[in-house]
Chains A and B, each alone.
Chain A
């Protein structure tokens, strides 16, 4: 199993550009989520999905969109990048939304200039 994969590993955008961060998992997990990691703030939940076709907002959803057309994939879209979105982004998955172990991808380091 590849586990949770994310692409790209690094990305530099100019303010106003859009892009999609890819996330895929091959463990047949129902629950997937996106976090951003910023110094001194830990991980904050952006969006999550409890299954194909179902998404919901987390703690910091503004400026981001998600969709979940398949169990495997959960892309994160930045509609119009801003410097405040400079961060490291992690995708995670787990069997359920509950207290089961979450499996994290290796992260995408995004810089917006």
Chain B
């Protein structure tokens, strides 16, 4: 069945450092891919998405490219801020199921 694998956290970075959070997926067909962000004490919010191979989703300085050949959707940001501290979830919709499947989440802590 469909599944999403994210890198283990927590990830601790200094302000202005480069961020990569790895996400790989397993799915049949052509799923849509998402990154959601959860700030402390809040629900999840959509950060970005890509619906087909080679699409790049971007928002708030974050980017992720849908790579079908490596079944990956890694999240990147060139210069993180303290306000980016949150839990980031990679998610998949489509393929063999009609449900949104989430990864386990990666905690990012950015220190000043």
Chain A contact residues, CB within 8 Å of chain B? 4, 33, 35, 40-45, 48, 58-59, 90, 92, 97-99, 101-102, 104-107
Contact = CB atoms under 8 A, between A and B. Distances in A.
Interface stretch (B10-18, B40-48, B62-70, B75-83): B40-48
Contact of A43 (B32, B49, B89, B94): B89
B46 A98 contact: no
A109 to B, nearest CB: 10
25 contacts: A4-B43, A33-B100, A35-B102, A40-B104, A41-B104, A42-B89, A42-B104, A43-B89, A43-B102, A48-B99, A92-B44, A97-B98, A98-B93, A98-B98, A99-B49, A99-B93, A99-B94, A101-B46, A101-B49, A102-B44, A102-B46, A104-B43, A104-B44, A106-B42, A106-B43
B99 A42 contact: no
Interface in B68-112: 89, 93-94, 98-100, 102-105
